[in-house]
Amino acid sequence: MKKNNSKRSGLNLNEILLGDSQKKLKLIPDNSIDLIVTDPPYGLGFMGKDWDKALPSRGILKECFRVLKSGAFAFFMASPRQDVLSRMISTLEEAGFKTNFSPIFWAYATGFSKAQKVSKKIAGKPGAERLEGAYAGCQLKPAVEPCLVVMKPCEKKTYAEQALDNGKGVTFLDDCRIPYSKDESIPTRDFEKQKSYSSGQVIGSKGKKWKGHKDGRVSANVVVSDNVLNTGTKGNNSKFFDLEIWWEKKLNLSELPHELQETYPFLHVPKPSKKEKEAGLDDFEAKRVSDGRKKINDTAFQRDATLRRNTHPTVKPIKLMSYLITMGSREGDIVLDPFAGSGTTCIASKILNRRYIGIEMNPEYHEIAVQRIKNVTSLN
């Protein structure tokens, strides 16, 4: 396997660069990055932010493609809105990426709909009664964000050959298994009769015994916040597991949660708390964050009443980015985030003993990211 040379010229390792990704990426040599994990602009103009009005350009994505090693993966968070999601996938394909993988869906319960209630606008007009309860367009409450899984094509003929050549073309799913809770035994199954696919069960020979993996269950392609899929029942056939336990094991913490939310095969990922977002920012001035509306309403939805030191509007959980980094890399690998924001991917990389390069063009967010990462220590 080819060695990972950390002394490549032009690489500023373990730094968050201030500037435009289109320019800063050119400083990085070809085929030098092991993994990309990023939360780029969604093309929505979220909370009135100009930087979110456009999707990443094809030029930037081509640079991302160039710097990745052959067979290396990239995880791009994206909007679930069909038009921008379709354009994002198309642009990734135009840049050269393989997109024939299932995305990872992050579900949560804290979104809110901005749909306009039509009945209020037409009250008192003929036919208004028939439109009671109608809303403009179809703007459902947002509850999921996809993470697009793409790969730079392999140089070798098979994934196995590529893995032997440079360690790429693979994901480390065993590292992402969800451990069993303390009071839970490893599941077993006896195949008394031949099983069929029609029943939704795995085929097994009569008399064969099956035992679950000692390190836990393979996670699915959905991660969940806020217990949105919790049925509230025990022994449910649609069980799901909590990423909290994986995180506890990854950090070698001795105490596991006493209660496990049964949500298999999905993962539960809490949204980042204010404490997590603002760790290390004690010396920063707290500011009010506008959601872009002209009228300032004192509501939790608009956030105008909330003073914040971390003013970035779309901070992702450290645990979520840590999970993606663990899936796509090994210790010592180089992780790139070309849209670093307030630095969550770089923080997760440092915690997991990965080297990292972040790029952020907004001076305010860059300063926040640099200060946040100073507050972080690695696993070792």
| Domain at 351, CATH number | 3.40.50.150
Mean pLDDT, rounded, for 56-80: 96
Each residue's pLDDT tens digit, 75-111: 999 988 899 999 999 999 999 999 999 999 887 766 6
Is 324 a domain residue?
A: yes
Structure-model confidence comparison of residues 195 and 306, the more confident one: 306
- The alpha carbon torsion through 251, 110, 311, 346 (nearest 10 deg) reads 30
Distance in Å from the first CA to the final CA of the chain:
25
Is 360 a domain residue?
A: yes
Domain of 89 in residue numbering reads as: 15-115+139-172+272-374
Which range, 132-141, 159-168, 250-259, 359-368, is most confident? 159-168
Is 148 a domain residue?
A: yes
Q: What is the pTM of this model?
A: 0.76
Is 358 a domain residue?
A: yes
Please give the helix or strand (H or E) that residue 337 lies within, else none. Answer: strand 334-337
Contacts of 172 (CB under 8 A, 6+ apart): 326, 327, 328, 329, 330
Is 131 a domain residue?
A: no
Is 264 a domain residue?
A: no
Is 76 a domain residue?
A: yes
Is 262 a domain residue?
A: no
User: For residue 139, what pLDDT band results from cuts at 50, 70 and 90?
Assistant: confident
Residue with token string 């404490």:
275
**Into how many domains does the chain fold?**
1
